[in-house]
Structure 1
Amino acid sequence: MTLQFIHDNKGNTTGVFIPIEEWQTLKTKYVDLQREEAENVVELSSWQKNIIDERLSDYYKSPLDVADFDTTIDDIENGL
């Protein structure tokens, strides 16, 4: 199995990425995974979709007007 571990900016493991082919295999082997997946599907509300559409529109208008994620997190953690 080819797993990729996801880490935060401090090096803590926060998740695991499993290639979709391997996920499909696991779901056939462990039927409860398929049920669990179906139960945990979350649909965005229309207001959430609207916010995403607005933000994407702003980005497409000015793709260079963005902030680096790590720098932004550092600023937040340091109280701006």
Structure 2
Amino acid sequence: MKCLDCGTEMEHGSVEGIGQGGGHWYEFTSDEEKKKTGIKGFFTKKTISVASSVLDSPAWHCPHCKKILMWMNAKEP
């Protein structure tokens, strides 16, 4: 897979969650949703929960940009 930033071939691997406990979660917010501001934005901003366990999630590392791309399932109904 090519890096989305620089086009360098990325290394395939996986991400391992270490030291995660209760009370941890991750959310994805689109750039469009981040534009919502103020009290109305606070109550209407849509986020997507991401699985808190990333054990064996496929991932790619760009040795040039030092970026990691993870492929995870969203917690959506």
By the TM > 0.5 criterion, same fold?
Answer: no
Query: Taking CA–CA contacts closer than 8 Å with sequence separation of 6 or more, which of the two structures ends up with the larger relative contact order?
Result: 2
Structure number having the greater helix percentage: 1
Q: Which has the larger radius of gyration?
A: 1
Structure number having the greater strand percentage: 2
